[in-house]
Amino acid sequence: LEIKERLEQEGLFDPSKKRPLPQYPRRIGVVTSPTGAVIRDIITVSRRRNPGVDILLYPAKVQGAGSAQEIIRGIQWLNERDGVDVLIVGRGGGSMEDLFEFNDEALARTIRASKIPVVSAVGHETDFTIADFVADLRAPTPSAAAELATPDLTSFLVGLHGIKDQMDRLIAHRVVLERTKLQSLINRPVFKNPKTILQLRRSNFTHKAQSLISNAAALILNKSRQVALASQRLQLLNPLGVLTRGYSILQKDGKSVRSIHQLQVGEQALLQLSDGKADIRILSLKEEKKDGKF
List the strands of the sheet with 54-59, edge to edge: 54-59, 27-32, 86-91, 118-122, 137-138
Beta bridge partners of 270: 251, 279
pLDDT at 80: 93
pLDDT at 294: 46
Asked if residues 27 and 83 have their Cβ atoms less than 8 Å apart, the reply is yes
CA distance 127 to 121: 10
pLDDT at 119: 95
The residues near 105 (Cβ < 8 Å, ≥ 6 apart) are 3, 6, 7, 130
pLDDT in tens, the chain (294 residues): 888 888 888 888 888 889 999 988 999 999 999 988 899 999 999 999 998 899 999 999 988 888 899 999 999 999 999 899 999 998 887 777 778 788 889 999 999 999 999 999 887 777 788 888 999 999 989 999 999 999 888 777 778 888 888 999 999 899 989 988 888 887 877 676 777 777 878 888 888 888 888 888 888 888 888 888 888 787 766 666 666 666 777 778 878 877 877 778 888 888 777 678 888 888 888 877 765 554
Asked if residues 109 and 51 have their Cβ atoms less than 8 Å apart, the reply is no
- The alpha carbon of residue 55 and the mean position of all alpha carbons in its chain are separated, in whole angstroms, by 43
Q: H-helix or E-strand containing 75?
A: helix 67-79
